[in-house]
Structure 1
């Protein structure tokens, strides 16, 4: 176990018991420890983050247009792609209903945040709801869940390529095809992801997504493909890398347990994630690294997560997990070692291809 990782429970050893131990606290225990104000969003505070992000994006576009030099665009892509990612996080709050208590406002800001960066808001919102309702469940989690060793060995090369060797470019493919063993599309209202009652929402987001694609095509037609690459494609790729990197880091770690259906329940699965420190970027991308509290309390605004984490840490004790590794060190380590989980066992852990022990029980 890395020395800078606070792990969940005891170290992972082979255990003959049929189930892992139940948690010594409840969801109600954790909620009672948090000030009630942490569960209340402020519309004006939420809107301030949205407009602040838009303001920075506008300024960066103005600077790029003014300088208009080949040497500046890589820097612009990095900065603007990071702001696209920050804007996504605002829409992420909308999807959870933590932006405001007004559904119409959440949907409006969610679309304004997500459509410009080619995310179908309702399609993503619903699949993300599935992820949060099933975090840590090998059978029903939606994204960044591990595959079994037998599944890994049977996967075709092209599937392994994007899942294990190009994981930071996987998100657009996921929108169209979902993950391994999950069928459906985030754009099609008849996808297995959605309920019949959600058809209208999905059609709305897909239609707006198509309009955005048409707008980008119009820009390319009017100003040329190089213009589109300089001002949109470059930042978009950086945004995709950020989205995949952060999601990967929060759910791909050898010390995080995964559960099969019979041994899983919501709170146990919600703790199968990890807090990460992104340094000065924490405030830029709205403290998305404070992830444990977010998974326990889905509708808590991002600006209250630090206070909530401080309140629940004494109760969680060794069940609270945080890494002090640098972001890139953590990514490289998990990239090399996290490939699959054992074929059997109710509580299992990631293994590397050359790892022969069955780490789990």
Structure 2
């Protein structure tokens, strides 16, 4: 089924001539600095990451089945949930068209990567397209965008609970309800997330998601709830925590600007993110923390992002953001301080609830 994502040339057209007036470089300047090979995916290399992740997941299941001891399962949950997250990142590349240039292969591997971890591939792919086309735009961004102070003060307790106090468990709810001030579901083609031409893509992914849910129900019926918790639900929760943690840290930082109205354009918004270092996890989750270059060049394979980052850093200068803090220190700091942005202003930054009281 045909689908569209924003391409390198399209992202250049998204930026109007105002880009050269507001930034000391253009998208074309950045692209010209990057070696040409960085823009070309290798099908075999991409497939090798997919099969490697599947192989590790299968091995972990086999080890857990053989050992089958209470003391081992917490280690298994952490490792397997992390591998679920790695598999999600493979599907993420498929959604961007950076896995391969063959749309049918991207859809196939995307579904094989996402359906087992209860992600509706096309529904998520399309909403993620909205996020990338509108990164840093307070009015139109899709995920982990800040709310205004007025909205924060009006939010019901249950919405604040998952948005600000249990943010690392928010993803499944987001699939069904999206974020604040956004309507619709990732499962229903009538959602304003989707174009009419994307109806069958969305229905296909929703049907496969439903079949996966039925399969898990069948396992539970055959082997019991404890089996489901030990072998699937606990790793799934770890996966959700990883997904929310990484996405939160990509876009939630007091130093990252957000824009309203005409002050926003594509490249400016794409720079409203930050690179993070996850230590030895970087290789396991396919360098997803190399996020600035990814937001500028959406269809670049993950295995070329480091080389691209090295090439564009001298041009970006102070516009390039990277945190050297530990991941958990950064999370705790942003968790405590990033609550809302001012009601007015074309370029705004996160403020804390303590700021509101002063």
| TM-score, normalised by the number of residues in structure 1 | 0.93
Residue 344 (1) aligns with residue 357 (2): no
Deviation at 1:87, TM superposition (A): 0.1
Q: How does 1:52-91 map to 2 (within 5 A)?
A: 52-91=52-91
Aligned match of 1:234: 234
Q: Name 2:328's counterpart in structure 1.
A: 328
Pairing 1:135-284 to 2, within 5 Å after superposition: 135-284=135-284
1:46 aligned residue: 46
Q: What does residue 121 of structure 1 align with?
A: 121
**Higher-helix-fraction structure:** 2
Higher relative contact order (CA 8 A, sep 6+): 1
1:355 is paired with a residue whose SS is: helix
**1:304, distance to aligned residue in structure 2 (A):** 0.1
Whole-angstrom distance in 1 between the partners of 2:101 and 2:154: 46
- Structure 1: distance between partners of 2:46 and 2:100: 7
Q: Distance in 2 between matches of 1:152 and 1:228?
A: 37
Name the counterpart of 1:5.
Answer: none
* Cα distance, 1:356 vs structure 2: 4.6
The equivalent residue for 1:15 is: none
Cα distance in structure 2, aligned partners of 1:205 and 1:297: 26
Question: Where does residue 26 of structure 1 map in the other structure?
Answer: 26
Q: Distance in 2 between matches of 1:356 and 1:63?
A: 52
Cα deviation for residue 77 of structure 1 reads 0.4
Report the CA distance between 1:357 and its aligned residue.
10
Normalised TM-score (structure 2): 0.94
Q: Aligned partners of 1:353, 1:330: CA distance in 2, in Å?
A: 18
Segments of structure 2 that go 5 or more residues without pairing to the other structure are: 1-20
Q: After the TM superposition, list the runs of 4 or more consecutive aligned residues in structure 1 that deviate by more than 3 angstroms.
A: none
**Using the alignment, how far apart are the partners of 1:88 and 1:116 within structure 2?**
10
SS in 1 for 2:22: coil
Aligned residue pairs total: 338
Matched, 1:130 2:125: no
Cross-structure match for 1:3: none
1:354 CA displacement? 1.4
Unaligned runs of 5+ in 1: 1-20
Q: Deviations over 1:147-200 (max 9, x none)?
A: 000000000000000000000000000000000000000000111100000000
CA distance in 2, matches of 1:72, 1:219: 21
Question: Matches of 1:162 and 1:354 in 2, distance apart?
Answer: 19
Q: 1:313 — aligned with what? A: 313
Distance in 2 between the 1:249 and 1:311 partners? 23
Quote the RMSD (CA, aligned, Å). 1.0
* Aligned counterpart, 1:12: none
44-53 vs 65-74, greater mean Cα deviation: 65-74
